[in-house]
């Protein structure tokens, strides 16, 4: 059995722990590797290596850092297909979708290539007689990233390119379910000329995460994953004096008004609900059909759901792959059953789907559940599978109230041809990322990504300007260069500008 090891100090490291976790091929249902699970000693070694590397990397010039980032950008671009295939084999998503996530990660690298501009400080001349004030930002030290299984390349790239460009060093703890993409990314950083120890990868589970959260030399923690773990990471990391941004789960609603073009809206709904088998934090999992839109919408969406080509991620004909593990499949299947038991209508039932030649794969077919009530488990839970729940409301205001009553606030969308309704929606919903006739409104890399409410714990969103702010801290310098003969002696009142 192949063992996936850590990457510490610019090379592969087996670590000292004997614990491992299986890595599956979701399309075949077979175990393809095992991944080492780091213990406290392994985390200590990665953090010590990163802390030593910080001494020199934090002093490197902006142009040195930019050159490495541009080289890294080129290498990720060249190796996009390789990264995408690794993702597909361990996550299950189709290769074209995996290429898309690498592309979106690459956009953050491109944003970070502009670090000389992003780190420009402020300067105020002559704030008082002979006094100038200026500010500049410095890196924090060792930053840790703890990331989910669903975007094994993109989500870490929300973090490490920005952190490293800012002069920090980084320890990444990727998901133990699909760990290999991070190892190739580590090799590409090394090939790009990043000094050893600036970017490290440790695999593991709670034991490794807790060791990072408790390590005194970890200055900041970026987390993306489910809400209960995000809350825990924020609490424990903050209690240990670290800067923490912890992005959690989601229940993203897409509102469809009767004036929306039906074909356009339904195409986008099925793509956003079933793409990547619904395992996206910005997946649309609740369609909110307003007024007379409902019946026809359910009919058209159901027809399109039945037409989705489900198969192994490596098959170019597949539009949707399996879910990540057998446990994930069983949970999704159970939730679909609960919808039927609790009185919803299964318009399309994806349970029991088998793919010829891949009978042991972790497949669930696209599922559409109509007449979903807000107390039902399928509405309250983040299903994280290819399941679209349809909730019916009478007005756009009722749809806004529904969204605002939900504990999550990651993304949402509205489909309409009314500018007035769209504007009311964008101003009224308590959600961090909003799409208007755009189903998965993931902001471009030069904006910041983050939800509201239980979808984010901490103050800063990731990448974009807030990412740069998260990975740096400011100094403000007040300076005076007096001529010696100007001295007027000591003054004991509180200094004010003159």
State the pairing for strand pair 243-247/456-457.
antiparallel
Count of positions on this chain that bind ligand NAD (CB under 6 A): 27
Which residue is closest to ligand NAD by CB?
A: 225
Task: Please indicate whether residue 281 is annotated as part of the active site.
Answer: yes
Residue number, 415 or 449, with CB nearest to ligand NAD: 449
**Per CB under 6 A, 150 contacts ligand NAD:** yes
**Radius of gyration over every alpha carbon of the chain, rounded to an integer in angstroms:** 25
Least CB distance to ligand NAD at residue 352 (A): 24
Residue among 147 and 168 whose Cβ is closer to ligand NAD: 147
Using rule CB under 6 A, residue 226 touches ligand NAD: yes
Catalytic residue among 113, 143, 166, 281: 281
Taking CB under 6 A as the rule, does residue 455 contact ligand NAD? yes
- Return d(Cα 315, Cα 305) in angstroms, integer: 19
Nearer to ligand NAD, 60 or 469 (CB): 469
Least gap, CB of 309 to ligand NAD (angstroms): 24
- The residues with which 169 forms a beta bridge, in sequence order, are 142
Which residues are CB-contacts of 20 (< 8 A; sequence separation ≥ 6)? 3, 34, 35, 36, 37
Q: Is 290:394 a contact under the CB 8 Å cutoff?
A: yes
At 311 the three-state DSSP class reads: coil
x/- string (CB under 6 A) for ligand NAD, residues 387-416?
-----------------------x------
Tokens matching residue 458: 């901490």
Pick the closest to residue 317 from 96, 28, 99, 80 (CA basis): 96
What is the contact mask toward ligand NAD in residues 241 to 260, using x (rule: CB under 6 A)?
A: ------xxxx----------
Give 3-state DSSP helix, strand, coil % of the chain, rounded to 5. Answer: 40, 25, 35
Identify the bridge partners of residue 7 per DSSP, sorted by sequence position. 12, 201
CB of 415 to ligand NAD, least distance (A): 22
Residue closer to ligand NAD (CB basis): 111 or 384: 384
Task: Give the DSSP H/E element, type plus range, for residue 139.
Answer: strand 131-139
| Ranges within 289-328 binding ligand NAD (CB under 6 A) | none
Segment near ligand NAD (CB under 6 A); pick from 54-62, 223-231, 259-267, 488-496: 223-231
Residues between 162 and 221 that touch ligand NAD (CB under 6 A): 173, 175-176, 205-206, 209
Taking a C-beta distance cutoff of 8 angstroms, is the pair 106, 160 a contact? no
Question: Encoding tokens for residue 82?
Answer: 């390789």
> To the nearest whole angstrom, how small is the minimum distance from the Cβ of residue 162 to ligand NAD?
15
Residue corresponding to tokens 């910005």:
282
For residue 161 the two structure tokens come to 């390119």
DSSP state for residue 388 in the 8-state scheme: E
Q: Let me know: does 279 contact 150? Beta carbons within 8 Å.
A: yes
- Comparing CB distances to ligand NAD, the nearer of 146 and 445 is 146
Q: How far is the CB of 233 from ligand NAD (least distance, A)?
A: 7
> What residues make contact with ligand NAD under the rule CB under 6 A?
146-151, 155, 173, 175-176, 205-206, 209, 224-226, 229, 247-250, 281, 382, 384, 410, 451, 455
Where in the sequence numbering do the catalytic residues fall?
A: 281
């Amino acid at each position: 059995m192949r063992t996936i090891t850590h990457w510490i100090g610019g090379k592969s490291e087996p670590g000292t722990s004997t614990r491992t976790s299986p890595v599956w091929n979701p399309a075949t249902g077979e175990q393809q590797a095992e991944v080492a699970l780091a213990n406290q000693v392994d985390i200590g070694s990665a953090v010590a290596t990163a802390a030593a590397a910080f001494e020199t990397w934090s002093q490197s010039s902006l142009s040195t850092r930019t050159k490495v980032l541009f080289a890294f950008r080129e290498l990720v671009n060249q190796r996009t297909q390789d990264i995408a295939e690794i993702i597909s084999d361990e996550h299950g998503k189709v290769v074209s979708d995996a290429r898309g996530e690498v592309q979106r990660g690459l956009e953050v690298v491109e944003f970070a290539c502009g670090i000389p501009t992003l780190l420009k400080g402020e300067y105020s001349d002559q704030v008082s007689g002979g006094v100038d004030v200026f500010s500049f930002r410095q890196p924090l030290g060792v930053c840790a990233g703890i990331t989910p299984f669903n975007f094994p390349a993109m989500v870490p790239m929300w973090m490490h390119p920005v952190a490293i460009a800012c002069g920090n060093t980084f320890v990444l703890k990727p998901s133990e379910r699909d760990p290999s993409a991070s190892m190739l990314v580590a090799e590409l950083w090394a090939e790009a000329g990043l000094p050893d120890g600036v970017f490290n990868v440790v695999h593991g589970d709670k034991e490794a995460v807790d060791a990072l959260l408790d390590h005194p030399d970890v200055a900041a923690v970026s987390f993306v994953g489910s809400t209960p773990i995000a809350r825990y990471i924020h609490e424990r990391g903050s209690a240990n004096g670290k800067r923490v941004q912890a992005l959690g789960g989601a229940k993203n609603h897409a509102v469809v008004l009767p004036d929306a073009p039906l074909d356009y809206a339904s195409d986008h709904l099925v793509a956003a609900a079933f793409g990547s088998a619904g395992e996206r934090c910005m997946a649309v999992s609740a369609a909110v059909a307003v007024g007379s839109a409902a019946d026809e919408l359910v009919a058209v969406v159901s027809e399109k759901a039945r037409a989705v080509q489900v198969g192994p991620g490596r098959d170019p004909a597949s539009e949707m792959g399996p879910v990540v593990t057998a446990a994930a499949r069983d949970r999704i299947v159970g939730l679909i059953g609960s919808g039927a038991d609790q009185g919803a209508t299964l318009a399309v039932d994806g349970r029991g789907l088998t793919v010829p030649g891949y009978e042991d794969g972790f497949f669930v077919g696209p599922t559409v559940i109509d007449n979903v009530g807000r107390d039902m488990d399928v509405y309250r839970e983040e299903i994280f599978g290819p399941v679209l729940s349809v909730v019916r409301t009478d007005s756009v205001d009722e749809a806004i109230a529904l969204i605002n009553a939900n504990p999550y606030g990651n993304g949402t969308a509205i489909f309409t041809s009314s500018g007035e309704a769209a504007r009311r929606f964008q101003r009224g919903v308590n959600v961090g990322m909003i799409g208007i006739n755009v189903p998965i409104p993931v902001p471009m890399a030069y904006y910041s990504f983050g939800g509201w409410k239980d979808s984010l714990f901490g103050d800063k969103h990731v990448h974009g300007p807030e990412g740069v702010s998260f990975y740096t801290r400011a100094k403000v310098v007040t300076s005076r260069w007096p001529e010696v003969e100007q001295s007027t002696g000591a003054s004991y009142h509180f200094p004010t500008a003159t």
